[in-house]
Chain A
Amino acid sequence: MTPSVFLAGSFDQSIDFRNNLLSILQRAGMNILDCQKSTDPGNDFTQTVAGAIQQANCSIHILSRDFGQTLPTDPNTSLAKYQLNEARKKLNANPDFKIFIWYPTEVLAADKEPAQEAFINEIRNSIAKNMMFTNIASPIQLVDDIRSMLTSVEKVKFDIKEAEVFLICNQLDEGEAGNVIDMLSDIVDVEKLTIVQDSDMDYSEFCSQQIGKSKLAVVYFKETSEWALPFVQQVWKQVGGASSHTPILLIGDDNTETNMNKKFKAPKVISLIVAGELIPLEIKVQYDKVLEGKI
């Protein structure tokens, strides 16, 4: 989908930057919501800006040397500041909205009005998530950056079911894992995934999506510790590590001697090596803890 971009209006010497950027954005295939024509800083202007921002996926603001023209109703708010404030409001309401603030190197190097200097410092120190503040020299590179920030890689969508426990094992431990699931599935709802080494499936993405829909993810191993530890590390990274909502239980069978030191210590990860027969029970204990909010 072509992104709709609100390109903030310029009413001072930054108009040249804006015109140049507008042409580049258009050639980069973006849909521009232009409020430049609305030069009346009264109601017409504020209404046009508010309307355009509501339709946009993102906004672009060019910082200028001068504080510039102010709103008739508020001499402390320049038209540029007003447009940025409106974009911030949209970002607060819609976290997917993005704000790009361009501070051209020519402006960076120039003497600025004190009010504008203060405005720029205020922006610099209040950058929030999904706000980009850049002094990149080339407007083409700026647009390239904007485009890549707006583009997300299309990921395969798997048919994911919500689950209480999502248990993952390697094909070489499939039999033992089957026993664990047999014992566990009477108590909790278990979704199982067997990793087959030469399969074409994108396990990384599948696990990421399924873990997001599960209350507890379990990586079980008995003879495949060489696989399990790196696997859980990569999956943990994929789902967001400490910021993930679903804890991961890495659980190994202590009947295999080499399993004893196969642990992964990280936020949102429980790493245990227990007797094979106790594994289903341990998974249940950990699952209960999740339900109780103790993990």
Chain B
Amino acid sequence: MSSICPYPGLRPFNEDESIYFKGREEHVKKIISQLEERKFLMLTGASGDGKSSIVYAGIIPNARAGFFKAKYNNWVIADFRPERTPLTNFAIALTQQLELGDAAKVEKELGYGFSSLVNIYKSSSFYVDEKNEQWKNANDAEKKKLKRKGANLLILVDQFEEFFTNPENYSDGNISIPSQTVVNLLLETSKIALAEDLPIYIICTMRSDYIGQCASFRGLPEYIGYSQFFVPRLKRKEIFQVIEDPATLSGNKIANRLSETLINELGEGFDQLPVLQHALNQVWLAADTGNAQMDLVHLAKLAGLQERYLPETDRPVFSKWFSDIQPFKKPFFLKPSLENVLNAHANTLYETAADYYNSHSGNKISKEEAEFIIKKTFQSLTKIDASRAVRNRMTLQEITDIINKPNITTDMIGGVLNIFRLQGNTFLKPFVPDNEPSHQLKPTDVLDITHESLIRNWELLLQWAKEENENWLNFLDLNKQLQRWLANKKSSLYYLPLGTLSYFEKWYYDFNPNKYWLKKYDNSKATLEEKDAKAEKTIVELRNFIKSSRSAISRKRTLLIASVCTVVVILSCFTIWAVIERQKAIEQGEIANKKTEEAVRSKEEAIHSKDEALQAQQKAQVSENMAIAAKDTALQAKQLALLSKNEALVSKEQAVREAENAQKQSAIAKSEAANAEKQRQISEQEKIKAESAENKAKQLTLISVAQNISLKSASINSDAQLQGLLALQGYLFTKKNEGQVQDPVIYEGVRASYAALTGNNAGVLKGENAEVKAMAIHSDGSVSVAGKDGLMNKWDIASGKILSTVPFKYKSPVDFLTFSPDGNILVTGHENNMVCVWSTDKAGKMSNVELKGHTGLLRKAVFSPDGNYMATSGKDNTIIIWDMKQAVASNIKTIPLSSFVRAMSFIDNSTLAAGTEDGNIELITVSTGEHKKIYTAQGSMALSFALNTRKNTLIAGFSTGEIRLFDLNSSAYTNKKLSDNNTVGIEMICLNKKANMMVIACADKTIKIYDADHLDRKPILLKDHKTKVRSLAISADDRIIAGCEDKTIRVWESSTTKIADKLCAVLKRNMSSNEWKQYVGNKIEYEKTCSNL
């Protein structure tokens, strides 16, 4: 048995592995035949369909083996990829293969185009000129000798699309001259080779996405039309050969059940073959490098198959193996699938890269450093092109420059990446050669992701690629702002505003872009030096722009603070001045009072003097002169006193004014103090708001955690207990933090885990013999259902048992069935246009009354809420209103309509809503038959109606998936569209009794539960039943009951809380602290999910 793996993994087959290249034999034969005849072939196909393998492991080995009809025995294969220098690469390949010596000379000669390549071949030692004298004069032996030296030339241009993907070759629709030259050489050489029958053959491989762009090359479309081969998709039989034949050839064994499982698990579209080859390569390794028969258990050990699909004998082996694996690997087994083999493998390498480096390099690196290097490397090696992550080749030096950390060298990066290059782990090119396990990368080595399927299937890498794209978009955004600033002469008006600045500043300093990173995205035709200078300039300008914006904001802030301080100081000074002035006024008031007192005293003295003078006048009449003199003296004293009094009054008035001023200043000071108090209160309110926002943010975080763990619970299939605990914890977080417990994720988590724990996925009631077409819920909670088999069963939903069965056989097949609101009358419509009204007699038997009137096939019947009227519709484009109050129903109105009715519902006891096939919705007055069009749908029609009695709204579901709410309170019956993304017809709508829950059944077999008070919220989706819903009802306790096409009745509990309340009863444990850490996280303190456990 061979110890060489016959499956190459993610990389294409090489020439040495052609012995294991199977499944494409017929295609290789056709390609060779086409090449023999036309000398040129454009081999196109989708990504990952094995174009390179077909050439390297199919065409070339077959040619060398003599299975390609050509002139010579030997072949010279000049293969190259255009990359960024197509002409140079072509010249190098030719020089090496034709042993020409000087590649520069060859490139110069090729630069002339047309016959240059043919001339070069003819002048090489591999060409035998059968027209020259040497050949003509040679004998057979000499001719044989000459022929042994001759060689056919096969030129292979691999990845022709690089003419379009590299800006150096193709930019803005313009093709570079070297590219044009190469294509000219290929086409002209083909023409000459055909004309002169030269053994030169040209084959190009190209992704079919680029075929349209080939029109940019003159002459190329014609040649593609002349000779193209589109790689066909492998058929099942051929995929089988891909899987089984290499094993058979190499003496390994592969179980048939594994082959069949691999084929079944193989998805559609891209990456079929790379994903399959990778899985086979890993299975071979897991099967003791092919020494054991490759089997399902090996696929399961690679996280590619669920344990339950293993043979019973292998399950204990797998369980034991699984319990022993390293803990970090266990999460990789959450979603086993063929694609997940690749994801799990890449994750394992990521987790173990540091250990590998430490044990192989003799140096030490931390796990975080190694992971950082891997992330930055793979981000460098990917880019987003037209919203798709694609490969981006780079040298080790370029990657080191982008990482740009002084302690991280090219050697260190190369060493960390080695694990991704080993044989068996071939994720990065160049691979570590088998014979050189210690191979180290050089700074100039170009690294490339082996296949884009790795980007699409390694979840971590996909996430990194998105992050890288986000960084690039941030740069573009910031650069746009920068260019505006520069264009406006660095005007302060174009600085970044505070919010934008904070965002970009954080991004800039967190991500720290450098010129090397920027160069990666430079698609211009500039030289490397020019690109380098441009990138450096941009980085410097970016930094200056951010700094300038920050400085401007800082200046503004300083100015603002200074202004505020100045105002505060002025106010303080003013207050102090006011206090001083007040003091002064008080003091002056006191002086004035004193002066007033003095003036009063002077007045009293003057009065006293006057009294004395009068006494003297009376007493001394004799001495009149003396008395007159005394009188004058007294008058003078009086005048003095008056003067003093006046002065005192003036002083008093001044003191009063000053006191008033002081009071005014005091009032201003008080007002300032009040303002300050107000500001303090506002600040207090802001603080409360901030605290409230913080609490809200915490709540939202916990709600987000709740969503996350609920989602995780859905992906855990192997441990129902853990699944239940996560779902319940998600519910509890949501409830505690005032989140929506009826959120679809929370509901689904709780519902699915309860089903997994109890083995009871939505109560499925079996026992019906036909599709359940009609359903009625009785006041005692029992449900009557009727099917096309002519049996009416009464179910006890709680026990899942049929309480009674009553037949209602009729001579003609049933078209529809409907119950009256109280469930006591059953109405059936029949193929003979007859409506039958069934009721149960005293003996419990059903008898019917036939209602005639319709002339076309019957479609529907509905009852008015009070049960007094019934409306039936048929393909005769009429509605008939029946009076049901009498023992025998009578036709009270036949209403013709424009087309036949698809939806019908009474909106009250006197008005009927009808939706016709031509898109109209009409309201019909039962008593008169008058009808009024309230809406016309364009390109769709109403399929279902329901009435929200609480809001007086008519809810209409349309064939296009639209839901519209018609306001019955408005005279114009205004309507609004529910913004949901239903795309398939809404076949049924139901509301519960409280009218706060709306349930719809869609044409794609799904059921959706809406919060009728918040119809904009995302609905809960029920889809596990995978069968069409034929009838729908909601029980009094809000359970959803559906009669299904598969003859079952299904019952769902709609309340998350009710299901969650039952979970602890079926759970046997709480989460361990490790589980809590793994699923909930470190930041949230551990709590028991079920306090009773």
Mark contacts of A14-55 with chain B using CB atoms, 8 A cut-off: 1 yes-contact digit, 0 otherwise. 000000000000000000000000000000000000000000
Least CB separation from B144: chain A residue:
A172
Residues from chain A with a CB closer than 8 A to the CB of B73 are 170-172, 197, 224, 226-227
Q: State in angstroms the CA–CA spacing of A110 and B1046 once bound together.
A: 10
Mark contacts of A191-217 with chain B using CB atoms, 8 A cut-off: 1 yes-contact digit, 0 otherwise. 000010111100110000000000000
**Band of interface residues on B:** 35 or more
- Is A234's CB under 8 angstroms from B61's CB? yes
Binds A, one of B64-72, B96-104, B827-835: B64-72
Chain A nearest CB from B211 CB (Å) reads 26
- Is B260's CB under 8 angstroms from A227's CB? no
Q: State in angstroms the CA–CA spacing of A199 and B36 once bound together.
A: 12
User: Which of B66, B144, B249 has a CB less than 8 Å from the CB of A195?
Assistant: B66
Q: State in angstroms the CA–CA spacing of A224 and B261 once bound together.
A: 44
- Is A236's CB under 8 angstroms from B264's CB? no
Residues from chain A with a CB closer than 8 A to the CB of B257 are 124-127, 133
Q: Which residues of chain B (167-192) have a CB below 8 Å from chain A?
A: none
Q: Which residues of chain B (1-25) have a CB below 8 Å from chain A?
A: 1-2, 18-20, 22
User: Which of A109, A198, A224, A242 has a CB less than 8 Å from the CB of B69?
Assistant: A198
Listed residue (B70, B144, B249, B1027) with the most chain A CB atoms within 10 angstroms of its CB: B249
- Is B260's CB under 8 angstroms from A242's CB? no
Q: Does A255 contact B (CB under 8 A)?
A: no
Q: Does A178 contact B (CB under 8 A)?
A: no
Q: State in angstroms the CA–CA spacing of A224 and B72 once bound together.
A: 11
Q: Does B824 contact A (CB under 8 A)?
A: no
User: Which of A129, A133, A227, A267 has a CB less than 8 Å from the CB of B66?
Assistant: A227
Q: Are A236 and B19 CB-contacts (below 8 A) given A127-B257, A231-B65?
A: yes
Residues from chain A with a CB closer than 8 A to the CB of B75 are 226
- Is B237's CB under 8 angstroms from A233's CB? no
Q: Does A277 contact B (CB under 8 A)?
A: no
- Is B2's CB under 8 angstroms from A134's CB? no
Chain A nearest CB from B78 CB (Å) reads 16
Chain B nearest CB from A239 CB (Å) reads 10
Q: State in angstroms the CA–CA spacing of A230 and B251 once bound together.
A: 20
- Is A134's CB under 8 angstroms from B65's CB? no
Least CB separation from B249: chain A residue:
A241
Q: Which residues of chain A (129-181) have a CB below 8 Å from chain B?
A: 129, 131-136, 144-145, 148-149, 153, 170-172
Q: Does B654 contact A (CB under 8 A)?
A: no
Residues from chain A with a CB closer than 8 A to the CB of B26 are 153
Mark contacts of B72-88 with chain A using CB atoms, 8 A cut-off: 1 yes-contact digit, 0 otherwise. 11110000000000000
- Is B236's CB under 8 angstroms from A134's CB? yes
Least CB separation from B74: chain A residue:
A226
Q: State in angstroms the CA–CA spacing of A224 and B144 once bound together.
A: 11
Q: Does B1026 contact A (CB under 8 A)?
A: yes
Q: Does A237 contact B (CB under 8 A)?
A: yes
Q: Does A240 contact B (CB under 8 A)?
A: yes
Q: Are A241 and B70 CB-contacts (below 8 A) given A124-B309, A148-B237, A227-B65?
A: no
- Is B70's CB under 8 angstroms from A127's CB? no
Q: Which residues of chain A (214-263) have a CB below 8 Å from chain B?
A: 223-224, 226-227, 230-231, 233-237, 240-243
Least CB separation from A153: chain B residue:
B26
Residues from chain B with a CB closer than 8 A to the CB of A195 are 66
Q: State in angstroms the CA–CA spacing of A18 and B256 once bound together.
A: 26
Least CB separation from B251: chain A residue:
A242
Least CB separation from A144: chain B residue:
B235
Chain B nearest CB from A114 CB (Å) reads 11
Least CB separation from A150: chain B residue:
B237
Chain B nearest CB from A224 CB (Å) reads 6
Chain B nearest CB from A68 CB (Å) reads 15
- Is B248's CB under 8 angstroms from A242's CB? yes
Chain B nearest CB from A196 CB (Å) reads 9
Q: Does B894 contact A (CB under 8 A)?
A: no
Q: Which residues of chain B (46-72) have a CB below 8 Å from chain A?
A: 61-62, 64-67, 69-72
Chain B nearest CB from A260 CB (Å) reads 18
Q: Does B764 contact A (CB under 8 A)?
A: yes
User: Which of B147, B237, B1026 has a CB less than 8 Å from the CB of A145?
Assistant: B237
Q: Does B263 contact A (CB under 8 A)?
A: yes
Residues from chain A with a CB closer than 8 A to the CB of B1046 are 13, 110
User: Which of B2, B260, B1026 has a CB less than 8 Å from the CB of A133?
Assistant: B260
- Is A241's CB under 8 angstroms from B250's CB? yes
Mark contacts of B242-267 with chain A using CB atoms, 8 A cut-off: 1 yes-contact digit, 0 otherwise. 00000011110001110111011000
- Is A111's CB under 8 angstroms from B264's CB? no
Least CB separation from A137: chain B residue:
B268
Q: Does A189 contact B (CB under 8 A)?
A: no
Q: State in angstroms the CA–CA spacing of A241 and B2 once bound together.
A: 11
- Is B2's CB under 8 angstroms from A203's CB? no
Q: Does B556 contact A (CB under 8 A)?
A: no
- Is A242's CB under 8 angstroms from B65's CB? no
Q: Does B499 contact A (CB under 8 A)?
A: no
Q: Does A128 contact B (CB under 8 A)?
A: yes
Q: Does B960 contact A (CB under 8 A)?
A: no
Residues from chain A with a CB closer than 8 A to the CB of B71 are 197-198
Q: State in angstroms the CA–CA spacing of A230 and B59 once bound together.
A: 11
Q: Does A266 contact B (CB under 8 A)?
A: yes
Residues from chain A with a CB closer than 8 A to the CB of B251 are 241-243, 267
Chain A nearest CB from B533 CB (Å) reads 50
Residues from chain A with a CB closer than 8 A to the CB of B61 are 230, 233-234
Q: Does A182 contact B (CB under 8 A)?
A: no
Q: State in angstroms the CA–CA spacing of A226 and B144 once bound together.
A: 15
Residues from chain B with a CB closer than 8 A to the CB of A199 are 69
- Is B249's CB under 8 angstroms from A243's CB? yes
Least CB separation from A133: chain B residue:
B260
Q: State in angstroms the CA–CA spacing of A64 and B345 once bound together.
A: 36
Residues from chain B with a CB closer than 8 A to the CB of A226 are 64, 73-75
Mark contacts of B203-244 with chain A using CB atoms, 8 A cut-off: 1 yes-contact digit, 0 otherwise. 000000000000000000000000000000001110000000
Q: Does A106 contact B (CB under 8 A)?
A: yes
Q: Does B388 contact A (CB under 8 A)?
A: no
Q: State in angstroms the CA–CA spacing of A148 and B238 once bound together.
A: 9
Residues from chain A with a CB closer than 8 A to the CB of B406 are none
Q: State in angstroms the CA–CA spacing of A77 and B18 once bound together.
A: 48
Residues from chain A with a CB closer than 8 A to the CB of B22 are 237
Q: State in angstroms the CA–CA spacing of A109 and B761 once bound together.
A: 13
Q: Does B852 contact A (CB under 8 A)?
A: no
Residues from chain A with a CB closer than 8 A to the CB of B19 are 233-234, 236-237, 241, 266
Least CB separation from B140: chain A residue:
A175
Least CB separation from A234: chain B residue:
B65
Q: Does B1077 contact A (CB under 8 A)?
A: no
Q: Does B680 contact A (CB under 8 A)?
A: no
Q: Does B311 contact A (CB under 8 A)?
A: yes
Q: State in angstroms the CA–CA spacing of A128 and B259 once bound together.
A: 10
Chain B nearest CB from A92 CB (Å) reads 14
Q: State in angstroms the CA–CA spacing of A198 and B36 once bound together.
A: 10
Q: Are A227 and B74 CB-contacts (below 8 A) given A172-B147, A233-B18?
A: yes
Chain A nearest CB from B230 CB (Å) reads 18
Q: State in angstroms the CA–CA spacing of A147 and B181 once bound together.
A: 48
Enumerate 30 A-B pairs (CB-CB under 8 Å) in ascending A order: A111-B761, A111-B764, A125-B310, A134-B260, A136-B264, A145-B235, A148-B235, A148-B236, A149-B237, A195-B66, A197-B70, A198-B69, A203-B66, A204-B67, A230-B61, A231-B64, A233-B65, A234-B62, A234-B65, A236-B249, A237-B18, A237-B19, A237-B20, A241-B250, A242-B1, A242-B250, A243-B248, A243-B251, A266-B2, A267-B2
Q: 10 tightest A-B contacts by CB?
A: A241-B249, A242-B251, A230-B64, A231-B65, A127-B257, A230-B65, A125-B311, A145-B236, A234-B65, A127-B256
Interface residues of A (CB under 8 A from B): 13, 106, 109-111, 121, 124-129, 131-136, 144-145, 148-149, 153, 170-172, 195, 197-200, 203-204, 223-224, 226-227, 230-231, 233-237, 240-243, 266-267
Sample of 18 more A-B contacts, CB < 8 Å, known A110-B1046, A129-B256, A135-B264: A124-B261, A125-B310, A127-B256, A132-B260, A134-B260, A136-B264, A172-B73, A197-B69, A197-B73, A198-B70, A200-B69, A204-B65, A223-B148, A234-B67, A235-B65, A240-B249, A241-B249, A266-B19
